[in-house]
């Protein structure tokens, strides 16, 4: 069993990043113009990295399967981005952000990476403000903050419920400047099909032009993968329909270790599943938990009456409501971390207190916040004896200013007015903490292949705190990778252009072509979606919010059989050498069918509960996750060996020199 070298620099935690930047090699500005870098994925991590690398003088090629970089799934992020600026004067600091992130990840993340993330977080806000990102501001003009789950301070900067969109537009504008300068070549509607290795180093990719169907060869001195997470292995998730694992998985097949695949986040605040024909789920921002109170009926007969449509939630008296998060976790209340809130919702619904027709929903209620804000606004407006109607009207105006687009989205989807009746929410697959293993430099186990943002595993451990995804993506792209990649590229200043007419490119293109032909050769019994949905049900039922040994073993067997059936019987219409969206989907689902089995294998081997990984055999008497720090305080990185069942485990032991490992409590 191999031991991985994380290349974490020595010295005090707070000095590691500064020391590392001073010690690593740099590339002379005159030499940067002779070096080519490929960036796959143009969301926050990829867009920020591409713009910064081009600004530094490198020649950059970017690839995305969307018709524009600004359609990356980062645009869907709603609630905000964390940074330890302590604008509220409530005791925040780099160390507190670091500590909250480590604790939120249930002590399964790399200490040095997380501290670096906290350290550069403030720079991100300054960078984005300079780009013109319209963050919310207080009356006096200062940037506003709100709180998110798992913390006791307000450190989340936001732009209503559109933070991801505004941040991505900032990165996109920075990219466009470099495209105009000729430093970035942008390839849209292109999908990476394979990574090309020359003498063991990542030297290019095979990409498919999704409009013409042609395969293309692109070379570079390094390849950066910033292609997001793999939540769509569950079919139903909050991810965009096109989000996939292909780029990361193809790198995995070429030698990049895949770390902690079972660490997947279930988000507690999503619109519940409505039926079998649904193709994706919709997230309601965690920021809503700042002001919304989560509850279910206390009495079973009330829950049954609500499910049968005989009782409305607004008719239920306050004393008949169970605000179960406030009851169980008084210190954090509705702002416990996502994994805790999700399991609590599942527990209440499994016990029979769910409030929609399927019994899989709880309420998120804003009535108290509307009244509270209404009274405050009435007083500040000089209305001393406001009646209830006026208070509610004023309170709704405040809520609209903070969350208006989210309420509008909910009403369009559900056809209920959330100002007047509580929202219905239920947990759903959202973010993946697992991903390609990277060292402190964000380099995978393949020299020259880097992974940034959600595509890597590095910062969030077993559970990501809300508003930390945007923080990590932009930290990696703007402030980490542009430094660390130079250390590797400093050895390539005399290499010259990487030719694409080599045996390595020939072989890689041949393998891609053969794989597509194999996909097209199925007998045509079932559609691609048929297999994706079947995989999703196995994953949700047996590898979802709760796992156990028996069902994980069943999942491994069932996924293996499903994969065999897929390759024999899938129906892919159209032709290879033309626009073919069914072929695109088939390639992605083929990779999900391998990842799904490795996911279950990883969950089976980890005999503990931590963060989003909840093994039913390992829990406290109160139903909380029960870690095993003695045996599982490590990163599980899997090496590809041909079949997921044969994957070889490598460990990176996690060392905590600056934090005491404690039972994670939010009470």
Which pLDDT tens digit goes with each residue over 347-388?
999 999 999 999 999 999 999 999 999 999 999 999 989 999
The Cα 504–Cα 470 span in angstroms is 36
Confidence grade of residue 2 (pLDDT, cut at 50, 70, 90): low
Q: 338, 464, 563, 588: which one is catalytic? A: 338
Say which residues have a Cβ less than 8 Å from residue 330's Cβ, sequence separation at least 6.
Answer: 667
**Average pLDDT along the chain:** 96
Supply 585's token pair. 């989907």
3-state helix, strand, coil in the chain (%, to 5): 45, 15, 40
Is the pLDDT at 577 greater than 80? The verdict is yes
383: number of Cβ within 10 Å: 15
Which pLDDT tens digit goes with each residue over 413-468?
999 999 999 999 999 999 999 999 999 999 999 999 999 999 999 999 999 999 99
Q: Which of 271-275, 301-305, 389-393 is predicted least confidently? A: 271-275
Confidence grade of residue 667 (pLDDT, cut at 50, 70, 90): confident
**Angle CA(453)–CA(662)–CA(470) in degrees, nearest 5?**
20
Say which residues have a Cβ less than 8 Å from residue 172's Cβ, sequence separation at least 6.
Answer: 42, 47, 69, 70
**338 annotated active-site:** yes
- Provide mean pLDDT across the span 583-603: 98
Give the DSSP H or E segment for 321.
strand 321-322
- At residue 1, the pLDDT reads 43
Find out whether 58 and 37 touch, Cβ atoms under 8 Å.
yes
Find out whether 222 and 37 touch, Cβ atoms under 8 Å.
yes
Find out whether 641 and 252 touch, Cβ atoms under 8 Å.
no
Under the phi-then-psi rule, with left for phi > 0, alpha for psi from -120 to 50, and beta for the rest, what region is 657?
A: alpha
Is the pLDDT at 599 greater than 70? The verdict is yes
170: number of Cβ within 10 Å: 23
Is the pLDDT at 60 greater than 70? The verdict is yes
Is the pLDDT at 602 greater than 70? The verdict is yes
The Cα 466–Cα 173 span in angstroms is 26
Question: Which residue in 315, 348, 289 sits closest to 151, CA to CA?
Answer: 289
Give the DSSP H or E segment for 122.
helix 111-131
- At residue 356, the pLDDT reads 94
Farthest CA pair distance, the chain? 82
Is the pLDDT at 139 greater than 90? The verdict is no
DSSP 585: H
Which pLDDT tens digit goes with each residue over 217-266?
999 999 999 999 999 999 999 999 999 999 999 999 999 999 999 999 99
193: number of Cβ within 10 Å: 22
* 3-class DSSP state of 620: coil
67: number of Cβ within 10 Å: 11
As a whole-number percent, the residues of the chain with pLDDT over 90 amount to 96
Q: DSSP secondary structure string, 536-553?
A: HHHHHHHHSSSB-HHHHH
Say which residues have a Cβ less than 8 Å from residue 556's Cβ, sequence separation at least 6.
Answer: 597, 600, 601, 604, 645
Q: Is the pTM of this model over 0.95?
A: yes
* 3-class DSSP state of 455: helix
Find out whether 623 and 616 touch, Cβ atoms under 8 Å.
no
Beta strands in 433-483 (DSSP E): 435-436, 449-451
Say which residues have a Cβ less than 8 Å from residue 565's Cβ, sequence separation at least 6.
Answer: 531
Strand partners, 184: 60
Q: Which residue has the tokens 């369009």?
A: 412
- At residue 474, the pLDDT reads 98
């Amino acid at each position: 069993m191999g031991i991985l070298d994380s290349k974490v620099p020595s010295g005090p935690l707070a000095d590691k990043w500064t020391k590392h930047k001073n010690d690593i090699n740099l590339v002379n500005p005159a030499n940067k113009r002779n070096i080519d870098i490929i960036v796959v994925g143009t969301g926050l991590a990829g867009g920020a990295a591409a713009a910064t690398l081009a600004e530094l003088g490198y020649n950059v090629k970017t690839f995305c399967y969307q018709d524009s970089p600004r359609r990356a799934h980062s645009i869907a992020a709603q609630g905000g981005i964390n940074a330890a600026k302590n604008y509220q004067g409530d005791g925040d600091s780099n160390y507190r952000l670091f500590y909250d992130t480590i604790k939120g990840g249930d002590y399964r993340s790399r200490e040095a990476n997380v501290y670096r993330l906290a350290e550069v977080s403030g720079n991100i806000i300054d960078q984005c403000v300079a780009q013109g990102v319209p963050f919310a501001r207080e009356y006096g003009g200062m940037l506003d903050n709100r709180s998110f789950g798992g913390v006791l301070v307000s450190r989340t900067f936001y732009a209503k419920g559109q933070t991801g969109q505004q941040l991505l537009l900032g990165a996109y504008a920075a990219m466009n400047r470099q495209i105009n300068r000729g430093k970035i070549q942008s390839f849209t509607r292109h999908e990476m099909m394979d990574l090309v290795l020359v003498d063991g180093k990542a030297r290019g990719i095979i990409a498919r032009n999704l409009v013409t169907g042609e395969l293309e060869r692109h070379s570079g001195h390094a390849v950066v993968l910033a292609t997001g997470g793999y939540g769509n292995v569950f079919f139903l998730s909050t991810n965009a329909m096109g989000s996939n694992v292909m780029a990361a998985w193809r790198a995995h097949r070429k030698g990049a270790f895949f770390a902690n695949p079972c660490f997947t986040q279930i988000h507690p605040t999503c619109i519940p599943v409505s039926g079998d024909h649904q193709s994706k789920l919709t997230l309601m921002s965690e920021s809503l938990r700042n002001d919304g109170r989560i509850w279910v009926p206390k009495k079973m007969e009330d829950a049954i009456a609500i499910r049968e449509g005989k009782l409305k939630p607004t008719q239920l008296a306050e004393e008949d409501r169970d605000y179960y998060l406030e009851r169980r976790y008084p210190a954090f209340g509705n702002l416990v971390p996502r994994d805790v809130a999700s399991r609590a919702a599942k527990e209440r619904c499994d016990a029979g207190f769910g409030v929609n027709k399927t019994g899989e929903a709880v309420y998120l209620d804003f009535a108290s916040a509307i009244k509270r804000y209404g009274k405050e606004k009435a007083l500040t407006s000089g209305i001393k004896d406001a009646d209830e109607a006026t208070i509610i009207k004023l309170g709704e105006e405040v809520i609209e200013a903070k969350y208006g687009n989210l309420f509008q989205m909910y009403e369009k989807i559900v056809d209920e007015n959330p100002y007047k009746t509580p929202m219905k929410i239920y947990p759903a697959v959202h973010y993946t903490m697992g991903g390609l293993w990277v060292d402190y430099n964000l380099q995978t186990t393949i020299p020259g292949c880097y992974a940034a943002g959600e595509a890597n595993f590095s910062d969030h451990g077993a559970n990501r705190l809300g508003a930390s995804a945007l923080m990590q993506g932009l930290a990696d792209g703007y402030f980490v990778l542009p430094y660390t990649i130079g250390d590797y590229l400093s050895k390539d200043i005399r290499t010259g252009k990487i030719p694409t007419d080599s045996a390595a490119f020939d072989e890689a293109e041949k393998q891609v072509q053969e794989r597509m032909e194999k996909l097209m050769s199925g007998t045509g019994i079932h559609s691609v979606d048929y297999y994706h949905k079947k995989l999703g049900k196995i994953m949700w039922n047996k590898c979802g919010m709760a796992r156990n040994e028996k069902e994980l073993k069943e999942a491994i067997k069932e996924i293996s059989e499903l994969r065999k059936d897929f390759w024999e019987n899938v129906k892919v219409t159209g032709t290879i050498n033309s626009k073919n969206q069914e072929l695109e989907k088939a390639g992605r689902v083929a990779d999900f069918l391998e990842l799904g089995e490795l996911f279950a294998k990883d969950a089976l081997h980890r005999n503990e509960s931590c963060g989003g990984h909840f093994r039913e055999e390992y829990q406290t008497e109160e139903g909380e996750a029960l870690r095993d720090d003695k045996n599982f305080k490590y990163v599980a990185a899997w090496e590809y060996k041909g079949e997921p069942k044969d994957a070889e485990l490598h460990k990176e032991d996690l060392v905590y020199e600056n934090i005491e490992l404690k039972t994670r409590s939010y009470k």
